[in-house]
Amino acid sequence: MILVTGGAGFIGANFVLDWLALNDEPVINLDKLTYAGNTESLQSLEQDARHTLVQGDIGDRALVSALLARHQIRAVVNFAAESHVDRSIHGPGEFIQTNIVGTFNLLESVRGYWQGLSQAPKEAFRFLHVSTDEVYGSLAKDDPAFTESNHLEPNSPYSASKAASDHLVRAWHHTYGLPVLTTNCSNNYGPYHFPEKLIPLMIVNALAGKLLPVYGDGLQIRDWLYVKDHCSAIRRVLEAGRLGETYNVGGWNEKANLEIVHTVCHLLDELRPRADGKPYQDQITSVTDRPGHDRRYAIDARKLERELGWKPLETFESGIRKTVQWYLDNPDWVAHVQSGAYRQWVQKQYHSGG
């Protein structure tokens, strides 16, 4: 049995759904169920005895220790994190608490459990920490993509807190021998993505007839990774990754934000045309850039391909079409996730300007 933390969030929920679609090993899913944790993403598993959802905090050592021991967990996959740069700028404290202190407490709970295991399960145990390319900082246009040997140079409270958690995971391996693995991924997109992030926000706003806010000149470049490709990479690293190693996971799809927005608009023009016949790109508007906005991220995922034979299956063209279609097919999920608190956040963040 495995323990997945943060398994009701965007990537975590996709991971749990894919895991149980591909094998019968049960999942204990620990999620704090904050705004980004959505039980509706796991609705198809409500009657599935292989899935147990527990509402709780990774910082609750008594709870985590009890779950590990009671269910004889063989692996922990840690998705639990505050993960939105803009939110970290407005309220960094929660990011420090969850991403640093929370990870520390989780590591300590896991270490206590692991040290008490008998030899065979102790050797087989794994702790996989899911992190981000943002810990590496920002790249100039012509810089080579991030490799696993890049220095960590985080520029936002979010990325700094994730870099700190990466350091803690590394230290617990080198100091205590905890069998850890770390993955650093590029920008994910796909089903069940909370609509504060770029792609789902554009889809939801476009369909609602609202403006499509683009930061600054919109030429910030990101590498885009379809979420189910990311999940397959995590499964592969968990299965065969070298202990103590970091693996970068990327989609080999560098795109400027403005190009992403235009692609979404063109797909919506095709799949759900506006009633007035006008193009959705008429709704694009520039807003004031966010403080310290990193210009470019790019992931070099060749180590993962070379050592473990992993490559993404989706091109950006195939993945973005699947994503837009999913949002068109799931209006109830979209409507329910957009609570009053979420609407207030968007109104506060994407103020007019530029």
Residues with a known catalytic role: 133-134, 158
CB contact at 8 A, 11 and 190: no
Q: How many CB atoms lie under 10 A from the CB of residue 288? A: 13
Q: Which helix (H) or strand (E) holds 28?
A: strand 27-31
Q: What does DSSP say about strands 254-256 and 221-226: parallel, antiparallel, or unpaired?
A: antiparallel
Burial (CB count within 10 angstroms: exposed 0-12, middle 13-18, buried 19+), residue 321? middle
CB contact at 8 A, 200 and 327: yes
Q: 130 vs 22, 81, 162, 163, 169, CA distance in Å?
A: 20, 9, 9, 11, 10
Tell me phi and psi for residue 285, to 5 degrees.
Answer: -140, 145
Rounded Cα gap, residues 135 and 159, in angstroms: 5
